Structure 1
Amino acid sequence: MRQPKLLPPTVQRWVEQRTGPVVAVRDASHDWHRSRVWELEVTGGARRYVKVSPPVKFFTRETRAYRQVVPALGPSRAPQLLDSRADDLALLVTAAPGAPAPGLRLTSTEWRAVHSQAGMLCARLHEAGELGPDDRAEAEGSLEAAADGAEKYLARAGGRLTGGEQQLVRDYAAQLRRVGPVPLGYIHGDNQPRNWLWSAWLALVDFERTRPAARVQDLVILTVTEWLDHPDRQEAFLQGYGRALTDAERHALRCLTALDAVNCLAWGPDNDHPEVTARGRRTLDRLMKEDQP
């Protein structure tokens, strides 16, 4: 059992300048060492969350997302940014309604409803305004950038992949460069149930990876986890999303799952995260089997 992470005193003083005295603090970080999030109870019983981002890049992305992209989700569909402090890479946000979907004992019907609303919210996020020139350039290069990362992850994974598996990843990286035009927009970047809060409706949280990109990149984790065992949830998501994927998106998605697999096999063991490691191994085993002549 990990030790609770302590809210830095400088961050607490900054928060209290905006909220009044903090009555209680609960460590709400994800289960990895760089995640630092706290749930706060302030005077009057209101709940707030404060997050200290691991790198500057994530702080910058998340601050911008809350100001420019997240409002497109609608009221009560995400936290609201109250303030940010660049010196500490800290963000102070309101509490969104609901609880993380994985911790709830949902029925199959309820899970389909969750995925349907997730599809609807992703569509809103993906269409959150026109891309400016710089954002469009970043989005247009996002699949190429993903393909460029293959060799880095292969090097980090080392002997965790066989020679045949390494070649499969390289082949899919090469294919990803040739898929052609796909729809672009702002993606969540970590779109999965742990970042979905469910009550009477769905809310999204955690926007540190929100960026302009190929929209299909938001479906990779769901494809290799939730949807693999529950295709009805994929159907519900796409109904909420409002359209089927294009042929180019389906091809890109398969390529991206291969790159996700090697990323998981590089990151998971190095960070003592067996769930991520298992995700990568399962995907790679499936692709190797399906691609056999």
Structure 2
Amino acid sequence: MRQTKPLPTTVQCWAEQRTGPVVAVRDASHDWHRSRVWELTGEGGARWYVKVSPSAKFFARETHAYRHLVPALGHSRAPQLLDSRADDLALLLTVAPGAPAPGLGLTSAAWRAVHAQAGMLCARLHEAGELDRSGRAEAEASLTAAADGAEKYLGRAGDRLTGGEQQLVRDYAAQLRRVGRVPLGYIHGDNQPRNWLWSGAMAFVDFERTRPAARVQDLVILAVTEWLDHPDREQAFFQAYGRVLTGAERHALRCLTALDAVNCLARVPDNHHPEVTARGRRTLDRLMKEDRP
């Protein structure tokens, strides 16, 4: 059972300067030891969220996203940033409409609608704002940076991968360095249904990993989970996204799925989510079957 995390008193006092007195606090963190999110309820029933970022880097990314990128998504398509406090890495956010899509018991048709709106919002986010010089440099280096992480994750994963699987990952890391030019922009960074709120319309949440990168990096988790078993959802996504992937993007995506797999397995010692481990194992098994029959 996950232990409830108390809201720091200093952070609550800071938030109440904007919200007025808070009468109830609910721990709304993800089941991850570094996740710290609380729902606040005021005297009149109004609600807000307070988030304490896991690191200064995530705080900077998320505040930048809310101030400069999230407005491009449209009204009610994401929470709004009311205030931030760098000393505590704290953000005070409005409540976006909807609930996380995975818990809603959606029909197949509804899931297609969810993915269509996710595709639309991804397109808006990926095209939001011009990359400055440093942002473009970061985006241009993002695939190489992903490839550079392969050896670190292989070391952590150890004997959870066979020798053949380790070589497969190394081969894909090498290929990722050579895929060529791909479209760049700002990516959400954790683009998956748990961060999609659905109320008949879509809202995105959790922008702490939003950064300049190759746009295709935003599709990795979807490619190895949602779309693998439901190609109709993938089709709905790309119809709303407005374009199909280039050949270089398709190859990059395949390489990135191999790196995602070893990353999932590298996290096993401190990962209490068997679905993440299963995701990595399933991807590796599939790639080995397709590439090393």
TM-score range, shorter chain: over 0.9
Hey, what does 2:200 align to over in structure 1?
Answer: 200
The answer to whether the 8 A contact 1:73-1:125 is kept is: yes
* CA-CA distance at 1:47 after TM superposition: 1.0
Structure 2 counterpart of 1:30, one-letter code: H
The answer to whether the 8 A contact 1:49-1:92 is kept is: yes
Give unmatched runs, 5+ long, in structure 1: none
Pairing 1:68–2:64 present: no
The answer to whether the 8 A contact 1:99-1:199 is kept is: yes
Q: Take 2:102 and 2:200, find their aligned partners in 1: how far apart are those partners?
A: 15
* CA-CA distance at 1:3 after TM superposition: 2.0
Q: Deviations over 1:59-107 (max 9, x none)?
A: 1100111001111101000000000111111100000000000010100
> More deviation in 174-183 or 1-10?
1-10
Root-mean-square deviation over aligned CA pairs: 0.8
> More deviation in 20-29 or 116-125?
20-29
Superposed, 1:132-281 pairs within 5 Å as 132-281=132-281
> More deviation in 269-278 or 121-130?
269-278
Structure 2 counterpart of 1:17, one-letter code: Q
Q: Take 2:52 and 2:248, find their aligned partners in 1: how far apart are those partners?
A: 37
Q: Take 2:118 and 2:75, find their aligned partners in 1: how far apart are those partners?
A: 15
Runs of 4+ in 1 over 3 A off after TM superposition: none
Structure 2 counterpart of 1:252, one-letter code: A
* SS in structure 1 at match of 2:119: helix
Hey, what does 1:58 align to over in structure 2?
Answer: 58
Q: Take 1:105 and 1:277, find their aligned partners in 2: how far apart are those partners?
A: 24
Give unmatched runs, 5+ long, in structure 2: none
Q: Take 2:75 and 2:162, find their aligned partners in 1: how far apart are those partners?
A: 49
Q: Deviations over 1:183-227 (max 9, x none)?
A: 000000000000000002000000000000000000000000011
Hey, what does 1:82 align to over in structure 2?
Answer: 82
Q: Take 2:168 and 2:142, find their aligned partners in 1: how far apart are those partners?
A: 21
The answer to whether the 8 A contact 1:102-1:194 is kept is: yes
Structure 2 counterpart of 1:200, one-letter code: G
Hey, what does 2:109 align to over in structure 1?
Answer: 109
The answer to whether the 8 A contact 1:24-1:41 is kept is: yes
Aligned length: 293
The answer to whether the 8 A contact 1:189-1:218 is kept is: yes
Q: Take 2:269 and 2:112, find their aligned partners in 1: how far apart are those partners?
A: 32
Q: Take 2:235 and 2:28, find their aligned partners in 1: how far apart are those partners?
A: 32
TM-score (norm 2): 0.99
Hey, what does 1:290 align to over in structure 2?
Answer: 290
The answer to whether the 8 A contact 1:268-1:275 is kept is: no
Q: Take 1:291 and 1:203, find their aligned partners in 2: how far apart are those partners?
A: 38
* SS in structure 2 at match of 1:69: helix
Structure 1 counterpart of 2:173, one-letter code: A
* SS in structure 1 at match of 2:131: coil
Q: Take 1:272 and 1:3, find their aligned partners in 2: how far apart are those partners?
A: 13
* CA-CA distance at 1:32 after TM superposition: 1.0
Q: Deviations over 1:155-177 (max 9, x none)?
A: 11111111100000000000000
Structure 2 counterpart of 1:256, one-letter code: L
Structure 2 counterpart of 1:6, one-letter code: P
Structure 1 counterpart of 2:33, one-letter code: H
* CA-CA distance at 1:267 after TM superposition: 1.2
Q: Take 1:172 and 1:153, find their aligned partners in 2: how far apart are those partners?
A: 14
Hey, what does 2:3 align to over in structure 1?
Answer: 3
TM-score (norm 1): 0.99
Q: Take 1:42 and 1:139, find their aligned partners in 2: how far apart are those partners?
A: 41
* CA-CA distance at 1:18 after TM superposition: 1.1
Structure 2 counterpart of 1:103, one-letter code: G
Structure 2 counterpart of 1:168, one-letter code: L
Q: Deviations over 1:110-162 (max 9, x none)?
A: 00000000000000000002111110000000000000000010011111111
Q: Take 1:268 and 1:26, find their aligned partners in 2: how far apart are those partners?
A: 29
Q: Take 1:160 and 1:269, find their aligned partners in 2: how far apart are those partners?
A: 11
Q: Take 1:132 and 1:285, find their aligned partners in 2: how far apart are those partners?
A: 40
Structure 2 counterpart of 1:130, one-letter code: E
